[in-house]
Amino acid sequence: MVEAGPVLEWFEANARDLPWRRTRDPWAILVSELMLQQTQVSRVVDRLPRFLRRFPGPPVCAGAPLAAVIDEWSGLGYNRRAVSLHRAAACMVAEHDGRVPDGLAQLLALPGVGPYTARAVRVFAFGLDDAVVDTNVARILARTQGRSLKPAEAQRAADAMVPAGSGWHWNQALLDVGATLCRPGTEPDCGRCPCRTACQWALAGCPKPDPAVGSAGVSGGQSTFVGSDRQGRGRLVRTLRGGPVAVSDASAAMGWSDDPRRTERVLATLIADGLVALEDGVLALPA
């Protein structure tokens, strides 16, 4: 079992200064967590304050046109997260008096909110002693136990490690250890890691295979962006921010003038995701 003392002491001396750590506002925490999904920290640091100025709470976000939320999300990638956030805000207005709930089941019922995000809101906004398991924490769990873990095992292991009354500091500490020391592949800095004395993988000399590879919650990395469907989706949404586009011009906007079948297939996913509206042969951001 990883000892809390060394980890918390390390965090006190080495904590990253991140804007979402300076607030306990549940809405700000929820927005930051959704932004951080598959988006670089540096980009979220720049964009979060601007988003919160424009949409300072669920009622303002829910009352704004979806197109405005998508527009403000531009450049953060995975635009369907903006759709989910707008829908979640509407749910909070309708069911929770315009506030972010603190119950796990209530949070999980919100569009776009999964197990990690729900627990992150409970911990970082409400100070509860849940355990959050992102790819960095999942890597620590697998390595300290010296074996690949299944999802339920990883969550149980994380839950068992949280020191009572220190959920916020403990979880932030593990996130930083995973992000800066317990790195993937051949990059871990075991010599400075506060978990090393309890890490079965490190104690064994870091043999191959790395138990974190394929373990529950550990990301395998994103697929190539250039030439992908994601790139075409992003191009069309970016074009629509400037105004409506005829369906006949969609292929050019997506960069696939020579592949109308691909355009048709990907356009259907954009419409299904609520990112694009189609009416009378014209595409536009949803109202």
* pLDDT, position 223: 62
202's tokens: 């490190």
Instruction: Summarize the confidence of residues 239-265 as an average pLDDT.
Output: 93
- pLDDT exceeds 90 at position 100: yes
Residue 37's H or E segment, with its range, is: none
CA–CA dist 161, 167 (Å, integer): 10
Q: Over 90: is that where the pLDDT of 110 sits?
A: yes
Rounded CA separation 118/107 (Å): 5
**What global pTM score does this model have?**
0.89
CA distance 117 to 88: 13
**Is the per-residue pLDDT at 221 higher than 70?**
no
Report how many helices (DSSP H) and strands (DSSP E) the chain contains, helices first. Answer: 15, 3
- Residues listed for the chain: 287
The per-residue pLDDT for 246 is 94
Hey, is 174 helix, strand or coil?
helix
32 CB-contact burial (10 Å; exposed 0-12 / middle 13-18 / buried 19+): buried
CB 178 within 8 A of CB 136: yes
Contacts 24+ apart (CB under 8 A), 152-159: 153/216, 154/215, 154/216, 154/217, 155/115, 155/131, 158/131, 158/132, 158/133, 159/130, 159/131
33 catalytic per annotation: yes
Domain 229-284 class? mainly alpha
Topology alike, domains 25-124 and 229-284: no
Domain boundaries, the chain: 25-124, 229-284
Rounded average pLDDT over 242-257:
93
**How far is C-alpha 46 from the geometric centre of its chain's CA atoms?**
16
Is residue 222 predicted with pLDDT exceeding 80? Answer: no
Mean predicted confidence (pLDDT) in 131-148: 96
Average pLDDT score over the chain: 94
Residue tagged active-site, from 33, 95, 187, 264: 33
* Inter-residue contact 102 to 75 (CB < 8 Å): no
pLDDT in tens, 24-71: 999 999 999 999 988 889 999 999 999 999 999 999 999 999 999 999
In the three-class reduction of DSSP (H, G, I as helix; E, B as strand; rest coil), residue 13 is classed as helix
25-124 folds as Endonuclease III; domain 1 (1.10.340)
| Residue 78, pLDDT score | 87
